[in-house]
Amino acid sequence: MKHSKVIDLLNSTKTLHEVTAKGWVRTFRNNQFIALNDGSTIHNIQCVVDFENTPDETLKRITTGAAICVTGTLAESRGAGQKVEIQVTKLEILGDSDAEKFPMQPKKHSLEFLRENAHLRVRTNAFGAIMRVRSTLAFAVHQYFQEKGFFYVNTPIITGSDAEGAGEMFQVTSLPLDGSAPRNEDGSINYKEDFFGKQTNLTVSGQLEGETFAMALGQIYTFGPTFRAENSNTSRHLAEFWMIEPEVAFNDLADNMDLAEDFIKYVIKYTVDKCGDDLKFLENRLLEEEKSKPQAERSEMTLLEKLSFVLDNNFKRVSYTEAIDILKDSTPNKKKKFQYIINEWGADLQSEHERFLVEKHFKCPVILFDYPAKIKAFYMRLNDNTEPGKETVRAMDILFPGIGEIVGGSQREERYDVLVEKMKALGIDEEELWWYLDTRRFGSAVHSGFGLGFERLVLFVTGMSNIRDVIPFPRTPQNAEF
């Protein structure tokens, strides 16, 4: 008999028929009640075992973590807490689980312990919920763009360029690392002998390739893994993360902000509608976690209130220059509570400043725009009419409460001469990016795009606080287990 999913059994309106379910035992109580979970939902189905007619040998093997198959009658439950249960007539152990050794015991584990057991943590309620929410958000991303007529582009994972010009790349090579790699006369490595005949790295962003596609297909998006070899051991950084990068021909910066805001609201709304039970669970998890914090550090809103708040309010749009004025005058700046004191226009914003603006000052998502050219990437559109020495670019970052930067984007420099001059000034190799410059040589036009860090979005929606807990197998400095 084909087995049913637990979620369908729990939602079933028909009872008193025979059903089969397969899953993993969460708990087994009184030699009688199995809480069975198959991952289709946060909820377990109760399976009532007729222990008098079940051999002791079998009963002993119904342990936490074991995979089982049960067949029985789906019946209204007499017990509290569930509408239906399975009155088991046949039980088969599919895979034993040694109760002494199985790491996921039915008790509270620390998040750190769970990270060390990332291959099993998804069998817990919290991680099951997080990963289902992640899957739903990913689907919503595609649905949003597909409904709007964007085309999905797969940009290369291995590239020869540094899209962000920040040099934080993982090198890809098939040359030996034992010192025997071929050398040039000056002693440097001869990359002509390497696999691709040149130096290559894992992509930090699909933007530059994405731009070439936007200049042909009009509206495109990427959704793929990106890699950063930045040694940032924080709760917001991963060495391997997933990024969504839309790029749109003929959009200016204001259009870009509208798109980003609409997109974020859509995917959150979609997930709130689809993942009610999981989000309710995560909301309670967060409430529990916050009980251990001092009152002042607890959030004023529950998880679902926070999500509704984002859906119901406009993101506040603030120029970099206004933000600097606010920060200069702020109490933590005057009292030297910031680690980096803001003294003047041109300072790069640290996450403490971003979080002050979002969490303390505006108390809502903020879009900062028109940043100093000096602190942003080479491809951003130089603003017209800016004072010499105070040049700004048409950049925008979206800052979220509890997260900081969730989106980084810009209108792109579409003028060939201005772009080349900028690249020269920054020492970016024109020859390496000949193909990128071609977009400005042939049919150039205003265009804009942004990158949303998928894990930062999942962090926000699940209310988790460490980015390592919202990706299946996190890669961070000194850690690539699994």
Determine contact, residues 379/208, Cβ cutoff 8 Å.
yes
The distance of closest approach from Cβ of residue 377 to Mg ion in the complex, given in angstroms and rounded to an integer, is 8
Residue nearest to Mg ion (CB): 408
DSSP assignments along 9-22, one per residue: HHT----SSEEEEE
Residue number with CB closer to Mg ion (46 or 207): 207
Of 243 and 279, nearer to Mg ion (C-beta) is: 243
In whole angstroms, give the CA distance from residue 144 to residue 398.
19
- Burial class of residue 329 in the structure, from the number of CB atoms within 10 Å of its CB (0-12 exposed, 13-18 middle, 19+ buried): exposed
Q: Is 237 a binder of ligand 4AD (CB under 6 A)?
A: yes
By CB under 5 A, residue 72 contacts Mg ion: no
Give residue 284's Cα distance to chain centre. 21
Q: For the window 375-414, what string marks contact with Mg ion as x by the rule CB under 5 A?
A: ---------------------------------x------
Of 184-192, 362-370, 407-415, 425-433, the window that binds ligand 4AD (rule: CB under 6 A) is 407-415
| Distances from the Cα of 451 to the Cα of 33, 210, 297, 436, angstroms | 48, 11, 30, 18
Q: Does 449 bind ligand 4AD (CB under 6 A)?
A: yes
Stretch of 26-34, 73-81, 235-243, 274-282 contacting ligand 4AD, by CB under 6 A: 235-243
CA distance 325 to 344: 9
Residue 245 touches which of ligand 4AD, Mg ion, none (Cβ within 5-8 Å per kind): ligand 4AD
CB 115 within 8 A of CB 103: no
Count CB neighbours of 414 within 10 A: 19
Q: In sequence order, which ranges of 121-178 are alpha helices (DSSP H)?
A: 125-147
200-219 residues near ligand 4AD, rule: CB under 6 A: 205, 207
Cα–Cα dist 21/273, whole Å: 27
Part of the chain binding ligand 4AD (CB under 6 A), chosen from 95-103, 190-198, 415-423, 453-461: 453-461
Closest separation in Å from C-beta 405 to ligand 4AD: 4
Report phi then psi at 367, rounded to 5.
Answer: -110, 110
Told to check if 245 binds ligand 4AD by CB under 6 A, we report yes
Query: Where does this chain touch ligand 4AD (CB under 6 A) — which range of 1-9, 83-91, 98-106, 445-453?
Result: 445-453
Does the footprint of ligand 4AD cover residue 404 (CB under 6 A)? no
CB of 226 to ligand 4AD, least distance (A): 7
Q: Cβ-count burial of 357 within 10 angstroms (0-12 exposed, 13-18 middle, 19+ buried)?
A: buried
Beta carbons of 261 and 315 less than 8 angstroms apart: yes
**CA dihedral (217, 223, 229, 231) positive or negative:** positive
Residue 376 near ligand 4AD by CB under 6 A = no
Taking the least distance from each CB to Mg ion, the nearer of 97 and 256 is 256
At residue 366, what is the residue type?
V
- Number of residues interacting with ligand 4AD: please give it, by CB under 6 A: 22
The tokens describing 114, both together, are: 């769970």
Residue closer to ligand 4AD by CB (options 401, 409) is 409
Taking CB under 6 A as the criterion, which residues in 145-184 touch ligand 4AD? Answer: 163-164
Residues that bind ligand 4AD (CB under 6 A): 163-164, 205, 207, 228, 237-238, 241, 243, 245, 405-410, 449-451, 453, 455-456
